[in-house]
Structure 1
Amino acid sequence: MRPLTADKPKPLIEVGGKPLLAFHLERLVAAGFSDIVVNASYHAQQIVDYCGDGTRWGCRINVIVEPTPLETAGGILNALPSLGDEPFAVVNGDVFTDYPLERLRLHDLMADDAHLVMIPNPTHHPDGDFKLSDGRIGVGSGSRVTFSGLSVMSSALFAGLASGKSALRPRLEAAISSQRLSGELWSGLWSDVGTPERLEALENSLRDGSNPTS
């Protein structure tokens, strides 16, 4: 995302006139979330300063600074002491979507370790990530869809994981092996703001009401 991220973290890039992070915080609070944990590493102090303690947003915010980026699974494991014992929603800071976040708050994992929101494959990821059939996530050949970066997770997904840098996919594949991973397909507005071109496409879609699917 350079040069846009030369002096700021990606969640503070503006979309539609406000930082991505603002959209997430406002929508999470509107969906009924009152305690929010934010992981930050690159230009972390800007995230700390922007979030504050959550008062301005109408919630409680705990920003956890990672001196070295821990990737998704490592970052969540590091944050578990702040997340409590109940399942929690996870929203990637660099995606933009109109998915109704209250669904994450209300979702019952039952015996599953996690529930993933999947999307039709965007142009930059045509092969997808996982299969989705009858609400269950799987691997193997056949038609696949893409993980959106939105999910509900349980601490059980990270059982036995050593602290430090760790990717999420191996944890998801382990949950698939034990048949403890569910999912749903979302076909609404979604964009991974990973390049200047995708950011421009998103801005254009917000102006004309289309879906960038990027």
Structure 2
Amino acid sequence: MSRTPAPEAVIVAGGFGTRLLPLTARRPKHLLDVGGVPFLEHQLARLAGVGVEHVVLATSYHADLFAPTLGDGSRWGLRLDYVREEEPLGTGGAIRNVVGALRDDPDGAVVILNGDVLSGHDLAGQLADFDRPRDGRRVDVSLHLVRVADARAFGCVPTDGSGRVLDFVEKSNDPVTDQVNAGCYVFRRDVVGTIPPGRVVSVERETFPGLVAEGRLVTGFVESGYWRDVGTPEALVAASRDVVLGVAPTPAVDPVPSGARVAASAVVGAAEVGGGSVLMAGARVGDGAQVRGSVVMGDAVIGPGARVTDSVVGPGARVGAHAVLTGAAVGDDARIGDGVTLAPGARVDCHARIDGPRDQAAPGSGESR
């Protein structure tokens, strides 16, 4: 008996990450630290865990940084290829752009992951459901769907009793279902080839509705495991905290019972670090400081007596003694002076300098003085 080929996977990782500025000024959002490792490591480890052997990374913004960080995939028992899109092509266009890197197996399964969603859903179960024929027909595309308490802010995906997707309904004050798209798909290889090449295509607005209209078998796999879009600083901090505390299941790291993940070369004085915090290599925390639920990136310094809560401090940044940060995003090599209290939700640009209490960053402005 011939062996069924292992599923392949595509991770769509071409976004600019504008909602995450200033953290993405020098790197793609997909390589930001979440739970102590670059975000994509969570997805690669998860794919390897369900038997995927080949992953194609669809890149664009700062494409040159992916391979030095992730390598050839051998750390996870994978073969990892990189395909760069020269111009943004949307979700569907990015998938179509990598078709030449996939096997030429019409019935093969191709897992598609959005490169900014942390998920603990049952991917193995979704693959098994994808391989289950309906009335003798193969499934063409499977979508992971989750149920939400209030679907008014989402496009809805109604299904019938067999799981077949009936429609894609735009946001409404009177949703037709509580099921929404969670951003993990399984395609047949030949369906990927039907996406128009060389132009912007949205799978959500064009590909999926078109397949349903053509009578193709598109199914929904409804399963409400952990999932979170990490597209904002607040969401990135929350996802990192959830990984450290074990709320977000991921094979990439083990949860830390103490509630703080500290890199081997980080330095912590007589400080309190916890609440799901992460200190990356070279980070230093001064005596009497408190770091709660935050991500402190490589070589950043938190001064004595500072209070850093639910914040991200970029590589090489300095937070002065007795400074107070709450929900802040501090860019690379920025300087926050002694005694400064930033407005909640402040964003401080790379290399910015705030010398005293009168020079505070405005919340969400992306600027500082």
TM-score range, shorter chain: 0.7 to 0.9
Q: 2:70 aligns with which of 51, 70, 75?
A: 51
Structure 2, unaligned runs of 5 or more: 1-19, 170-174, 249-369
Please name the residue that 1:138 is paired with.
166
Please name the residue that 1:192 is paired with.
229
Q: Which consecutive aligned stretches of 4+ in structure 1 deviate over 6 angstroms post-superposition?
A: 122-125
Q: Is the 8 A contact 1:127 1:144 kept in 2?
A: no
Note the C-alpha offset of 1:62: 0.7
Note the C-alpha offset of 1:168: 0.9
Note the C-alpha offset of 1:184: 1.3
Instruction: Calculate the aligned-residue CA RMSD, in Å.
Output: 2.4
* Alignment pair present for 1:114 and 2:133: no
In structure 1, how many angstroms separate the alpha carbons of the residues matched to 2:122 and 2:99?
24
Normalised TM-score (structure 1): 0.87
In structure 1, how many angstroms separate the alpha carbons of the residues matched to 2:100 and 2:159?
31
Note the C-alpha offset of 1:163: 2.4
CA 1:104–1:90: 2 relative to 1, 3 Å? farther
Code of the residue aligned with 2:32 in structure 1: it is I
> 1:75-113 CA deviation, whole Å, 9 max, x = no partner?
111111212221211111100011233234443164332
Q: Is the 8 A contact 2:201 2:207 kept in 1?
A: no
Please name the residue that 1:91 is paired with.
113
CA 1:103–1:197: 2 relative to 1, 3 Å? same
Normalised TM-score (structure 2): 0.52
Please name the residue that 2:91 is paired with.
72
Please name the residue that 2:185 is paired with.
151
Work out which structure has the larger RCO, using CA pairs closer than 8 Å and 6 or more positions apart in sequence. Answer: 1
**Counterpart secondary structure, 2:165:** strand
CA 1:88–1:124: 2 relative to 1, 3 Å? same
Return the index of the structure with the highest Cα Rg.
Answer: 2
> 1:133-152 CA deviation, whole Å, 9 max, x = no partner?
32122225612422111110
Code of the residue aligned with 1:46 in structure 2: it is L
CA 1:88–1:122: 2 relative to 1, 3 Å? farther
In structure 2, how many angstroms separate the alpha carbons of the residues matched to 1:142 and 1:104?
23
Q: How does 1:4-23 map to 2 (within 5 A)?
A: 4-23=23-42
Q: Is the 8 A contact 2:156 2:177 kept in 1?
A: no
Indicate the structure with greater helix content.
Answer: 1
In structure 2, how many angstroms separate the alpha carbons of the residues matched to 1:57 and 1:100?
19
Share of identical aligned residues, percent?
Answer: 30
Code of the residue aligned with 2:21 in structure 1: it is R
Please name the residue that 1:167 is paired with.
202
**Counterpart secondary structure, 2:83:** strand
- Count of residue pairs the alignment pairs up: 211
**Counterpart secondary structure, 2:98:** helix
CA 1:120–1:44: 2 relative to 1, 3 Å? same
